[in-house]
Amino acid sequence: MQLDGKRLEIVNLLSKPMTTSEIAKSLNLSKSTVSHHLKILQKLGLVKVEKEEIEKNFIKRYYVSTLHTPEMIFPQEAKILAGFRFTRDGFFRTLIRNLTVYNLENPILLKKVGIDVGYHLLSLKVEVDDVINGIANLWEDLGLGDVRTGSNRIKVYDCYTCSGLDEIGKPYCKLDEGIIEGILFKNTGRRHEVIETKCWGTGDNYCLFEINPL
């Protein structure tokens, strides 16, 4: 099952509970199409039913995205991770690299984990007033690369996640995309789409993340 464009739109829309009819109206889709996508998103663990109401003998279900719920990723360890203090001992860098390498065929999971980690944990370490440069400073503090920033872009040299890995025709750093999106959403209150356009996986010797406000 793939997370195509319409399913991504539904996930992005469901930052607050919505019914099938409300989603269909917002995205100009039929209710049957939305229902089909919701079933797939529920199987992927990206959407859940927040509440149910009875209206005229029908059950009205309200769906919400799970992307910002840490328990969905770390069900047993959420309390431990909530108080975790990142150090320079290499734990976090090793976690990122291992998650990436062992889940290359599951970019949806990598992005989801990244968004949760960025939103719930790493956003606390980034200044709200200058988020993009704050992310750059955080990247360097964690030893994840040498970072340059521009207008709505982040460029990473010596990327810890992918530096030295084989060219595979696509970017490696889905987890990094998600982390950046999570931090931006938490610290700005606005959703952004982050896409890695250059990477060791695409034959480049640096990573380039393009940031698009939604």
Residue closest to 7 by CA, chosen among 207, 18, 27: 27
Domain 5-65 coded CATH 1.10.10.10: yes
Residue 147 identity: V
- pLDDT means per 10 residues, the chain with 214 residues, are 69 86 93 92 83 85 74 43 47 67 75 86 86 93 90 93 88 92 92 94 95 90
The pLDDT value given to residue 142: 84
Q: Structural domain boundaries of the chain?
A: 5-65, 70-213
Closest CA to 118 of 190, 64, 185: 185
Q: What pLDDT shows up at residue 141? A: 86
CATH number, domain 70-213, options 3.40.50.1580, 1.10.490.130, 3.30.1380.20, 3.30.930.10: 3.30.1380.20
Per-residue confidence (pLDDT) for residue 94, from 0 to 100: 66
34 touches 23 (CB < 8 A) = yes
User: Which pLDDT does position 27 carry in this prediction?
Assistant: 92
Alpha-carbon span 7 to 13, nearest angstrom: 10
CA 25/CA 32 separation, integer angstroms: 12
Q: What is the pLDDT of residue 93?
A: 63
